[in-house]
Amino acid sequence: MVATMEESSQGLNEPLIGGNSNDDSTLATSSTTLLDDCNDADAAAGGGINQSSTSKQNNHTNQKKISGFVLAIIVFFNACGGPFGIEPALKAAGNLYAIIGISVMPFIWSLPESIITYEMSSKYPCASGGKFFDSVDDHCNLLFVNSQTYNTSYTHIYRYRCAMG
């Protein structure tokens, strides 16, 4: 599991460069290397989105940004805030099953929830406030993901977004 994680986060570095760049050719290159069955129109569509989001992003440059650590703390308090409240689980299931449940739960529930949140709000960061990330092909950075297929499926979403304006 750990090995998979490291491997895929290394793989992330390359697409990220493309994602942060406003250069269309870089983007197209990174897209086509990653997406086998993705045609040029898709790549161009991705580029269009990338540029428009960059221009919107400039409106927010004066905004004070928070760091990843601060976000982690804030979300920590949103989701948990300490072990308070877990007690009834021990009461309901006894030590062994509660420990198993507490160990498994992050993987079967919280991790998918986090991944979905990360993917989707990177894709549609206007969710609550504005538009930011030029997220092009940095999904699938985590675990068990066939990134080629996944990238392809998301390219279709970009095209769709483009059609929507």
Partner 1 sequence: MRWVEEAFGETFGLLVGYLGWVSGVTNNASYPVLFLSYVHRQFFPELTATDNMFLHYIILAVISIMLAFVNYRGLDVVGKASILIFFISMVPFLLMVLIGIPKVDPNKWTETPSGEVEVFDDDALDQNGWFPAATIAGIAFRPFVNTLYWNFNGFDQASHFSTTIESKVAYRNGIYGSLVMASCAYLLPVLIATGATNIEQDQWKEGAFAVAATDIAGKWLGNWIVVSAGISLLAQFFSEMSSDSMQLQGMAERGQLPSLFGQKSRHDTPTYSLLLGLAVILLLLPFPFGLIIELSNFSFCLALTVEFLAFAQLLIRKGGKLAVCY
Report d(CA 57, CA 135) in Å as an integer.
12
Q: Is 99 in the site for partner 1 (CB under 8 A)?
A: yes
Does residue 41 touch partner 1 according to CB under 8 A?
no
Confirm or reject binding of residue 79 to partner 1 (CB under 8 A): yes
Binding positions for partner 1, 45-64, rule CB under 8 A: 60, 63-64
Please report whether residue 152 would count as binding partner 1 according to CB under 8 A.
yes
Establish if 80 lies at the interface with partner 1 (CB under 8 A).
yes
Q: Which of 127, 137, 163, 165 touches partner 1 by CB under 8 A?
A: 127
Determine the straight-line distance between the first and last CA of the chain, rounded to whole angstroms.
40
- d(CA 158, CA 150) in angstroms, rounded, equals 13
19 binds partner 1 (CB under 8 A): yes
With CB under 8 A as the contact rule, which of the stretches 24-32, 40-48, 141-149 interacts with partner 1? Answer: 141-149
> Applying CB under 8 A, does 77 fall inside the site for partner 1?
yes
Q: Residue 121's closest CA among 105, 139, 95?
A: 139
Selected binder of partner 1 within 1, 25, 84, 165 (CB under 8 A): 84
Asked if 14 and 148 touch (Cβ cutoff 8 Å), the reply is no
Determine the Cα–Cα distance for residues 73 and 12; give it in Å rounded to an integer.
24
| Rounded CA separation 133/13 (Å) | 16
